[in-house]
Amino acid sequence: MNSIIIYYSYQNNTRKLANYIKEALNCQILELLPVVPYSDNYDDVVALGENEETKNVRPELQTNIPNLDSYDTVILCTPTWWYNIAPVMISFLEKYPLTNKDIYVLATNGGFGLGKGKECLEELCGKESIHSVLEVPFDEDEMEISMDVVNAWIESIKK
Q: What is the pLDDT of residues 89-139, one digit of tens each?
A: 999 999 999 988 999 999 999 878 899 999 999 999 999 999 999 999 999
Query: Secondary structure of the chain in the HEC alphabet?
Result: CCEEEEECCCCHHHHHHHHHHHHHHCCEEEECCECCCCCCCHHHHHHHHHHHHHCCCCCCECCCCCCCCCCCEEEEEEEEECCEECHHHHHHHHHCCCCCCEEEEEEEECCCCCCCHHHHHHHHHCHHHEEEEEEEEEECCEECCCHHHHHHHHHHHHC
CATH superfamily of 3-158: Flavodoxin domain (3.40.50.360)
- Please state the domain extents for the chain: 3-158
Q: What is the pLDDT of residues 42-52, one digit of tens each?
A: 778 877 777 77
The lowest-confidence range among 8-12, 108-112, 141-145 is 108-112
**Cut 0.75: pTM above it:** yes
Q: What is the pLDDT of residues 69-79, one digit of tens each?
A: 999 999 999 99
